[in-house]
Structure 1
Amino acid sequence: MATIDHNSWFEKGMTFAQYMEAMKVNREEVTRVYEGLTFSPEDLAVWNDVAKRSWRGIVLTADWCGDAALNVPVVQKIAEQSQIELRYLNRDENLELMDQYLTNGTSRAIPIFIFIDEAGEMKAVWGPRSPEVQDLITGMRSQLPAKDAPDFEEKQKNVYRDFKQQITTDTAIWRTVIESVKAKLQG
């Protein structure tokens, strides 16, 4: 992997407010999760510890992404509590960076959260999903007909609609993201 100038990528990114303003898809879902999210006293203790590190973060995302509708507001709120300034980059406009953070070495799955120190050195990466959310979508996809079935596209569209609805309304799912990010930040 080539040396990445994370500081220049960070400077190029949008703030959360700018990202929200530019959103054309999923703004309602992001807002619902962001406004409905709460942290336990244990969470807050971890975020206070993380705040001592003076980290920043780069988020590779896109507003059309169902996973981003859940993970962006959760990690944004964690970042605010941890005094981590996040900057947002559209995945498809930043493939040079995205291709350095492929999921399983092959997939441009998003969102990806890259946490860096003051010098711009990568300290942690999280995304695109908590293990529990991955299990959920894997189970839902397993119910789909074969790709060559005449109703595949319609059923796939329904699966992704139902998935996005479930992950942006079920607070137990939100908790899996909090715990997964917490483990990554503590590690």
Structure 2
Amino acid sequence: MARNIWGPNGQKPNQKPPEATNDVIEERARKAGIDLTPKPSPYKQLGNKTKKELEDKVNKRTITKEEWKRLEWNRRLAKRRDAGVKEFWKQEKRRIKNGEPTTRNWTQEQKDAILSNQVPTFNGKPITGHHAYSVSKYPHLANRGEIIYPVTVKEHLIRWHGRSYRRSLPGKPYDPSFPEEF
């Protein structure tokens, strides 16, 4: 007979309840004095196809000024997004070193990976940094590590985006009933 390992709220042992996820991000944003109001973005983020078309125009020297501005804006935003994730891992490393509460209940192997500047894994797959506030709606927060939450691929798609990357809720999971995997 299989043993029930799930807790009363559907979470695994030693796992934070769903609302704790929201609290971590809100608390860090508040402490950092981050403005959590949506800011309009001058351009929509480019998809891979459009980006490639514009890069081809650059190579052929046929790109217009407006297209160039859009492409450059997209590059800067991508750099800011990556910087935010890198900043999160630096912050998480500092929390581990200082014995402060971490964002997730990391295993020792995952902690060792973070401390050696590597991306931790879960079941052999890398854990990614999810922007809890959508970069398209909150571009001014893209480079802030305080709003990043580490997730597995499944958690990212199902828990945070409700099975469609086009959906998200600011600062909280789209489907909090989907349990965290670790």
Taking structure 1 as the reference length, the TM-score comes to 0.25
Taking structure 2 as the reference length, the TM-score comes to 0.26
Judging by fraction of residues, say which structure has more strand. Answer: 1
Judging by fraction of residues, say which structure has more helix. Answer: 1
Bigger Cα Rg = 2
